[in-house]
């Protein structure tokens, strides 16, 4: 499928992380749309997530600093979103809020794992 699209996948691990960052970017744009375009920080997070996805897929050397720089705002956004949700609704008053809170926690865990993995493999991104 990827070869039909003209995309050359060099490594499966970076391809999976690239898919994660694409989903991240799309999710941030969905959050922007659901907030009626009032949460503009999600534009920044969404675009940079898509740029990181491209950099991971093409094994660009500028990807590592982008991942490091974007990790902290993404985790901060996740923590504040989780805090606001728990402060407003408690942790699990109904299944929707429980699933949202669990999704935020899982998202932050995946962000941390990707950050640590890319930081550990940073030498492989050097030209």
**Mean pLDDT in consecutive groups of 10 residues from the start of the chain, 127 residues:** 57 88 93 86 92 90 91 94 88 85 93 93 77
Q: What does the pLDDT read at residue 100?
A: 87
Q: What does the pLDDT read at residue 57?
A: 87
Q: What does the pLDDT read at residue 3?
A: 53
Q: What does the pLDDT read at residue 2?
A: 54
Name the pTM for this structure: 0.83
Q: What does the pLDDT read at residue 4?
A: 55
Q: What does the pLDDT read at residue 59?
A: 84
Distance, in Å, from the CA atom of 23 to the CA atom of 18, rounded to the nearest integer, reads 9
Cβ neighbours of residue 25 closer than 8 Å, sequence gap 6 or more: 45, 46, 47, 49, 50, 53
If we measure between CA atoms, which residue out of 73, 67, 45 comes closest to residue 120?
Answer: 67
Sign of CA dihedral 17, 124, 121, 28: negative
């Amino acid at each position: 499928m990827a070869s039909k699209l003209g995309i050359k996948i060099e490594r499966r691990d970076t391809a999976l992380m690239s898919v994660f960052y694409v989903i991240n970017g799309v999710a941030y744009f969905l959050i922007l749309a659901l907030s009626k375009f009032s949460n503009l920080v999600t534009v920044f997070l969404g675009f940079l997530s898509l740029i990181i996805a491209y950099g991971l897929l093409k094994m660009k050397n500028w990807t590592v600093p982008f991942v490091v720089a974007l990790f902290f705002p993404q985790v901060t956004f996740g923590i504040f979103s989780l805090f606001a949700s728990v402060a407003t609704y408690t942790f699990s008053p109904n299944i929707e809020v429980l699933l949202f809170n669990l999704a935020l926690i899982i998202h932050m865990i995946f962000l941390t794992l990707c950050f640590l993995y890319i930081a550990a493999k940073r030498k492989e991104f050097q030209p």
